[in-house]
Amino acid sequence: MERAREARASGQLGCDDVLELLTDLLEEALPAGRHQRVTAHLVGCPVCSGRLLQLRATIVVLGHLRDGAVPASALAALRDSFLTPAPTGPPDQALRPAGGTS
Ligand SMILES: [Zn+2]
């Protein structure tokens, strides 16, 4: 969690902040400025962009289920999986927009 604090000190959102905001992002419920900062973080953070994909996939699946069809324990396990840092290698270039020259 130290990394998140560092990021915050530099004026950027930390992974924890972004995690909190992912559902709002998907629902397009974020103010424009915040939306931008979350997206900027996602571009540079394979962990959070992976979580976003996971969350999006989950929502698609849940969208095909009736309310209450997913046991609370399954949802809790899913949330835990988001909160547990995924084992990752070096930042994935593939996640960056194509055409970058930096
Ligand atoms: Zn992150």
* Domain locations along the chain: 2-86
Q: Could you tell me which of 32, 53, 50, 40 has the C-alpha nearest to residue 14? A: 40
What pLDDT, in 10s, does the model give residues 22-77?
Answer: 989 988 899 999 999 999 999 999 999 999 999 888 888 877 666 556 677 777 88
pLDDT at 88: 62
- Tell me the three state secondary structure of residue 6: helix
Residue 25 CA to residue 94 CA, distance in Å, equals: 22
Residues with CB under 5 A from ligand 1 (ion): 15, 45, 47-48
Tokens 């915050």 found at: 8
Q: Which residues contact 15 (CB under 8 A, 6 or more apart)?
A: 3, 4, 7, 41, 45, 47, 48
- What's the 98 CA to ligand 1 centre distance in angstroms? 20
